[in-house]
Amino acid sequence: PAPRTVLLTGAAGGLGTLMRELLPDHGYELRLLDLRPIEGEPDAIVADLADRAAVREAVRGVDAIIHLAGISLEASFEKILKANIEGTYNLYEAAREEGVRRIVFASSNHAVGYTPRPQGDDPLIPVDAPRRPDTFYGLSKCFGEDLAQLYWDKHGMETVSVRIGSCFPEPTSVRMLSVWMSPADGARLLHAALTAEDVGHTVVHGSSANTRLWWDLTSARALGYAPQDDSEPYADKLLAEQGDLDPDNPAHARLGGHFVTDPPIWPY
């Protein structure tokens, strides 16, 4: 049966807030968890992923987990280790103990951020491109994907690792025209990842069907994902404001954008 009750970690964050609005329309009842309380959601669980007892209680009885919680930009190794590496381990261990069979993991393009982005007639980036994390943050996403593989091979727990491009209400840079995932497509992809059968551990790219797409969406479509959106309507305005990507600028030549610079330059 398709999962109905889903634990959403990181529910107070940007993506969590968007998905809290959109996923109920796909038929889910959400249990919310975050470090931070959420206004208007008194039942949300306020807990740190470091708190194993709280995490175990939070996963008890759910059909599946969407794991968004963690540090979402570059930070010190110590902070990334605590929140993203140990935190994700704690969540998987709790899920194993409580018998949760399906997790959707918010991985990131930054797990492979040093991959050159296609130029001209270059092929799209395949989903099995070698790992090339661009930050400690990206490295933690590589860890999460490998943890997911281990828990599938050893414990039969299924994960879809979604290497999200940029999921925001609108694309805000020329780079994002290529990796943007509209919130509505994000909800469609999470729904597909929750309901597809026999996923084992599957890695997919997470974006809309953008005209300027850089990566291959085949494995996402194989889950039943049918993206409906394209960033192209935003292109003229962003190109007029920011100019086109400069192939001689290292931050424009790689999938990860400004995450590849040292230190990363915000905004991207």
Interface contacts to ligand 15L, rule CB under 6 A: 72-73, 108-110, 166, 257, 268
- Please, which residue, 197 or 228, has the CB nearer to ligand NAI? 228
- Please, which residue, 130 or 169, has the CB nearer to ligand NAI? 169
Angstrom distance (rounded) from CA 11 to CA 146: 24
- Please, which residue, 83 or 199, has the CB nearer to ligand NAI? 83
Catalytic residue among 137, 151, 225, 234: 137
83 makes contact, choosing from ligand NAI, ligand 15L, none, with CB < 5 to 8 Å by partner type, with ligand NAI
Q: How many residues does the chain have?
A: 268
212 makes contact, choosing from ligand 15L, ligand NAI, none, with CB < 5 to 8 Å by partner type, with none
Angstrom distance (rounded) from CA 209 to CA 215: 10
Instruction: Please state the closest distance from residue 107 (CB atom) to ligand 15L, in A.
Output: 9
137 catalytically annotated: yes
The strands making up 45-46's β-sheet, listed across from edge to edge, are 45-46, 29-34, 5-9, 64-67, 102-108, 158-164, 201-206
Choose one: 14-22, 220-228, 249-257, 259-267; the region binding ligand NAI (CB under 6 A). 14-22
Residue 87 binds ligand NAI (CB under 6 A): yes
268 makes contact, choosing from ligand 15L, ligand NAI, none, with CB < 5 to 8 Å by partner type, with ligand 15L
Angstrom distance (rounded) from CA 62 to CA 29: 10
- Please, which residue, 83 or 127, has the CB nearer to ligand NAI? 83
Instruction: Please state the closest distance from residue 15 (CB atom) to ligand 15L, in A.
Output: 8
Q: Which of 30, 49, 127, 187 touches ligand NAI (CB under 6 A)?
A: 49
The amino acid that residue 261 corresponds to is: T
Active site residues: 137
List residues binding ligand NAI (CB under 6 A).
10, 12-16, 34-36, 48-50, 68-72, 83, 87, 106, 108, 164, 166-168
